[in-house]
Chains A and B, each alone.
Chain A
């Protein structure tokens, strides 16, 4: 049995279905990200586990025990809030030690454990400050310390990085992941940021309109999205409308307006109309010199944007504009004019056409 188990959880807000029959298992020690646009139910799902609201239907298990109906203060599911929710009238020390003090531990032990947290989160010397006297990054670290000091096996994170500036956010990602691995705790991480999800998670559950659309590793979710929505939400993608023209045992041949693709995928029949998801970095460009080779995919660059570590090109081909990323820009500037496109056929992914 998974360490955390949501079984057929449904939650209504009035007539709005915030969670629609959600089933999700999370193994011990797993960093599970709930990813989705705002209003998809990701925070609601997490709050059911913390006990801030009760599901209308379904069961929630934590370490084999059903926790439905248990008040939040008996669940042992520390949560780091998006806006941190530090107690404004308490000092850093009082904030971090609050949970321990509730358990009436003796002062020496509280001090020792608080000090350990202050060390872990680089907050030494700030014990006596109030939250309003701290920077955003420091406040956030206090929030982490306050949640982790109880030594629980679980940690819930509700978009904890969204109030930090861009650079700090990237730094904290790796720190957070390292702390999680070191402590071996199970984490549920809620975010709408695909970069955060991809860079930190063991598993990602992509949510949409109260349902989970896919659960998988970052690789699976990125390269083998189950739906159009996921392909689109997780990263940038080109969609090509294709026809399946041949289906072999291990591969499919696709026709895109006269151009052919051969991909190692199954599950489609000849004559199916489908959608091919192509990531911008799975296409490479080469300048065309004179003659055009037989069957080559030829396009014309209409626009580009230089981002330092890569150049993004907009290439017009087959009456459509594709986004193509060149990950190693040359010193001499961008390519212009007609180009030959080659597709990394292993990474192309065919999706069933949705209505």
Chain B
């Protein structure tokens, strides 16, 4: 065993030595590692260490913080369970049942991912709030929807799509032939589900659950809008910074958030990631799924319809609300909200600008990283892969807060600049771009570069003629996903924006806190419209080349 390890490490050293012959690659690696350390690891470290261990005594003195931690974790568990259940129902219905509306369901599961994070909360308030369409207009009720239950519902609708995309991917790849093999041996429908489909999907379900968990735990926007008096870590940390300028307490609260977030990241990477059976497929033709009992089938379908209806109502309310004079009081139609949005043009333009620039660099960085990790043996491939996905373990607001601390003074004073916005979004999106590129680069055969060399192209020509054109698609998918995430992002930038660098999402938050619901709705509609335009243009180009975005 030791011998193998020794020879492995000596092989790695040899690989590193060989880098001398490829100076461009060597420089790229050094730059990437340096940048990631400087812009991810170092700020995080600075934020964590701003409070000394003795400062943590405030946790004992202020029970509210402990409650916030408890609430955050409880909300995470509740929402993860509900998100996963909904996601599983959708995935099962779409991969295993012959029902109508599947394309519509697919659309429903994409919608929340490409929308600003607080949209569900906002719409929920419009529907069920004090002046809510349903509660007040239809039922004449006065209910308090803020707090735990409201937040739970909102988090479920907002984040089940993240669990869905993982579960759907895995379940779709489990060959129905395996289920038929079990039927063939005499298993009942329930046995087949229990013995074949469920065990094969389990890693996917676990992965999807963790995905939803990390989103719910670190979400800032929904709790901000609908949490009410419920103390949660992200909102409490925000209050400490914005209300009390107490960086130390904020850092402690953010660190409390970082710990479970990191834990989920490591569970995902080292436990769930290694338990996938999906690769067992060979060349085969999958049969049409053998359907469950009619009651189960149409029950699932009805459930999906119900959730979809909810989502449609959420978006419909927002759209409708954006065209009314005063939501809750005067429902007559008007364009005045949109003229208000026109006044916020600078902020929306900021959103587009920062998202585009950061997405360009994130996609470029992600693509280069994915290319090096997959196609080059440089001795530290595993480490580079880890660096590329590490930011996904850091809650967005933690990253933002850490930038406030780290880039507040020379050598690199970035406070209130556009650069800090772009950099934060760039590194926050790196894992997304990296995985998007990974998927594309896997499709590039290992030998095409060899083939070009073999035909007389030198390294530079073969990279330019063969690799670069083939990287276009991975680059484009990374760019689009990163752009969508940035344009709808609030958590990362909430601490680092200034009046001149405010974005669409931050102004919506402002409008909401002043009770300008109509303008907030209009602003949100505009952001969604931008996101969908970019999404569909990109899908069009990708489809033409036989690729598609993986949302």
Contact = CB atoms under 8 A, between A and B. Distances in A.
Indicate whether A and B interact.
yes
B454 A72 contact: yes
Interface string A84-101: 011111000000001100
Given A14-B8, A14-B11, A85-B448, A50 B454 contact: yes
Contacts of B451: 79, 81, 85-87, 146
B287 to A, nearest CB: 23
Contacts of B455: 73, 78, 98-99, 102, 146-147, 150
| Chain A CB within 10 Å, residue with most, of B4, B448, B454, B462 | B454
B515 to A, nearest CB: 54
Interface residues of B, number: 27
Given A14-B11, A15-B3, A88-B470, A83 B454 contact: no
Contact of A85 (B3, B11, B447, B456): B447
Contacts of A82: 447
A85 B7 contact: no
A52 interface: yes
A186 interface: no
A98 B470 contact: no
Interface string B438-472: 00000011011011111111110110011001100
A158 to B, nearest CB: 9
Nearest to B4: A15
B546 A132 contact: yes
Contacts, number: 78
A103 interface: yes
Contacts of B456: 73-74, 76, 99, 102-103, 150
Contacts of B445: 83, 85, 88
A77 interface: yes
A266 to B, nearest CB: 45
Nearest to A75: B454
Contacts of B11: 13-14
A83 B447 CA distance: 8
B22 to A, nearest CB: 12
B477 to A, nearest CB: 16
A51 B470 CA distance: 24
A52 B459 CA distance: 12
Nearest to A146: B455
A102 B457 contact: yes
B20 to A, nearest CB: 14
Contact of A73 (B4, B7, B457): B457
A73 B453 contact: yes
A50 B454 CA distance: 7
A71 interface: yes
Contacts of A51: 453
A103 B7 CA distance: 42
Given A71-B458, A73-B457, A85 B450 contact: yes
A78 B451 CA distance: 8
Contact of A87 (B454, B461, B466, B546): B466
A73 B466 contact: no
Contacts of A15: 3-4, 7
Nearest to B10: A14
22 contacts: A14-B8, A15-B4, A50-B450, A52-B454, A72-B450, A72-B454, A73-B462, A76-B456, A77-B454, A81-B450, A83-B447, A85-B445, A87-B465, A89-B470, A98-B455, A98-B457, A99-B455, A99-B456, A102-B455, A146-B455, A147-B455, A150-B455
- Give the 4 A-B CB pairs with smallest separation, nearest first: A85-B447, A99-B455, A85-B451, A15-B7
Given A15-B4, A50-B454, A132-B546, 4 more contacts: A72-B450, A73-B461, A89-B469, A150-B456
